[in-house]
């Protein structure tokens, strides 16, 4: 990350002079340089985000927070290679990315399961995409069954999507990504369509999955608490166009669910910053 906003220069226990200082010993997994995405609309060219510089180390969980419309999903889709950038570059372990990479997993707000396939078959479907290297039948079986147990869905292998609750469907979506053994998991508000209690369950499950698989995660959320419970770093995006406005490191050990009170000060600080960003005069 090269473009640090002025806010970083303030003395603040949660902020770090360089975003990667605490993880300098870990391998760099994702590097995003000067990324910009423009959309062509009837009104002309619309820049969804610009000037995005980002580095994520292996094993890090980075949460991207920002108001609706600030370009979070656009950024994730671009990193996933599902749409091209207009400027800038993306590297995964040093390799330039411009097409979907088989080892980047993506989970959206909606599980997007195929309704005519069972849980097992939906996960298997994710392994049959043409970018995936050919796997033996036994490797496919063992990956699917490991993914199913990671998300605690043993016993539901033969269920169809209409037989699942929203939380279970999201667990299948997560398992579908995990079975591909992704180097990087991109999660776009994966729990925001769920009720508060299911969301908490899913956050706990995701944390366990991350710890089990040593996953590297870029999680988009508009929920400050979610970012603070799961993230090693929290990035706040501004909008029109989207930029990374500010960054915090969250150093409290995980799990933090029983220690949320320790995050109160940081939560308030992020809330204040977000609130100033969306309506500076109120
Ligand atoms: N395919 C598209 N064509 C035109 N504008 C788009 C397209 N996708 C997103 N946008 C616009 O880009 C901005 C950022 O959208 P998005 O990335 O979905 O934001 P977020 O995920 O932060 O809510 C919004 O103003 C949205 O209307
Ligand atoms: Mg979005």
Q: pLDDT by residue (tens digit) across 47-94?
A: 999 999 999 999 999 999 999 999 999 999 999 999 999 999 999 999
The CA dihedral of 158, 161, 194, 235, to the nearest 10 degrees, is 90
Ligand 1 atom at minimal distance to the Cα of residue 67: 22
Ligand 1 atom at minimal distance to the Cα of residue 242: 14
The class level of CATH for 1-15+23-100+218-282 reads alpha beta
Q: Are 222 and 233 in contact (CB under 8 A)?
A: no
**Given this model, what pLDDT does residue 129 score?**
72
Residue pointed to by tokens 């108001």: 67
**Given this model, what pLDDT does residue 11 score?**
36
- Token digits of residue 268: 């308030």
Buried (b) or exposed (e) across 102-140, using 16+ Cβ within 10 A? bebbbbbbebebeeeebbbbbbbebbeeeeeeeeeeeeb
**Given this model, what pLDDT does residue 217 score?**
98
**Given this model, what pLDDT does residue 12 score?**
40
Residues, Cβ < 5 Å to ion ligand 2: 73
Residue 91 DSSP label? E
**Given this model, what pLDDT does residue 18 score?**
41
**Given this model, what pLDDT does residue 20 score?**
43
Q: Is 13 in the pocket of ligand 1 (CB under 6 A)?
A: no
Positive/negative CA dihedral, 134, 138, 144, 147: negative
**Given this model, what pLDDT does residue 131 score?**
61
User: Could you read off the pLDDT of 209-227 as tens digits, one per residue?
Assistant: 999 999 999 999 999 999 9
Residue 126 DSSP label? H
- For the entire predicted model, the pTM comes to 0.90
């Amino acid at each position: 990350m090269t473009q640090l906003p002025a806010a970083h220069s303030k003395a603040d226990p949660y902020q770090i002079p360089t975003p990667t200082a605490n993880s300098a010993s870990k391998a760099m997994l994702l590097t995003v340089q000067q990324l910009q995405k423009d959309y062509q609309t009837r009104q002309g060219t619309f820049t969804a985000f610009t000037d995005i510089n980002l580095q994520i180390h292996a094993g890090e969980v980075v949460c991207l927070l920002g108001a609706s419309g600030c370009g979070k999903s656009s950024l994730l889709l671009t990193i996933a290679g599902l749409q091209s950038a207009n400027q800038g570059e993306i590297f995964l372990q040093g390799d330039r990315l411009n097409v979907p990479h088989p080892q980047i997993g993506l989970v959206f707000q909606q599980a997007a399961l195929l309704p005519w396939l069972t849980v097992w078959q939906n996960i298997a479907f994710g392994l049959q995409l043409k970018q995936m290297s050919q796997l033996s039948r036994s490797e496919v079986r063992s990956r699917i069954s490991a993914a199913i147990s990671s998300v605690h869905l043993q016993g539901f292998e033969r269920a169809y999507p209409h037989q699942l609750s929203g939380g279970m469907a999201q667990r299948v979506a997560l398992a579908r990504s995990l079975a591909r053994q992704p180097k990087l998991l991109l999660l776009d508000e994966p729990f925001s369509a769920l009720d508060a209690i299911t969301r908490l369950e899913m956050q706990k499950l995701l944390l366990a999955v991350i710890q089990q698989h040593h996953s590297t995660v870029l999680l988009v959320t508009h929920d400050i608490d979610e970012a603070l419970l799961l993230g090693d770093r929290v990035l706040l995006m501004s909008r029109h166009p989207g930029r990374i406005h500010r960054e915090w490191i969250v150093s409290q050990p995980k799990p933090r669910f029983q220690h949320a009170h320790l995050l109160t000060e940081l939560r308030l600080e992020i809330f204040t910053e977000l609130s100033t960003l969306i309506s500076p005069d109120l």
